[in-house]
Amino acid sequence: MDLLWTVLAFSFLVAGIIGSIVPLLPGPPLGYAGMLLLQLRETPVFSVKFLIIWLIVVVVVGLIDYFVPLYGVKKFGGSRFGIWGCFIGLVAGFWMGPLGIIIGPFIGAFIGEFLAHQETNRAFKSAVGSFIGFVFSTLLKLVTCALMGWYMITSL
């Protein structure tokens, strides 16, 4: 039975790593589910404290994932309109699949800034900030899943 839980746990981890790149899959929560599946082995491999700490990490990374593109817009000189455009683009892009989640915040920030009577170059710069935020959050999710995988591998 231990072999079954281990195989399932690592399957969830692989799905989590893929989900860190593919926007529609929740990467770190899937990796965390893999850690929880390892607990079903005959001898649990992680302490409750360790699992609670990782739960907090996964929740924080999940929140950061939504707010980093907005922060990127602001950091690259975007206004309230660009930030709202980025947010609306993220929500609209969610319903358009993986490509929509990547392009939605970019287009939303650009349109928001353009509607705020900003010149095209400034609107584009704000949109680039949203894309850089997206890339940063993707890397953060990948690192989180990789660390979970490292702990899972070393626990065996």
Coil, strand, or helix at residue 60? helix
pLDDT digits (tens, 9 = 90+) for 33-85: 999 999 998 888 899 999 999 999 999 999 988 788 777 777 777 777 877 88
The residue range of the domain holding 100 is: 2-155
Distance between alpha carbon 134 and the CA centroid of its chain, in Å? 8
Helices 48-75 and 80-94 pack at an angle, to 10 degrees, of 130
Question: Structurally, how many domains does the chain consist of?
Answer: 1
pLDDT digits (tens, 9 = 90+) for 131-142: 788 788 889 999
Q: Does the model's pTM come out above 0.95? A: no
Pick from 80, 82, 72, 106: nearest CA to 92:
106
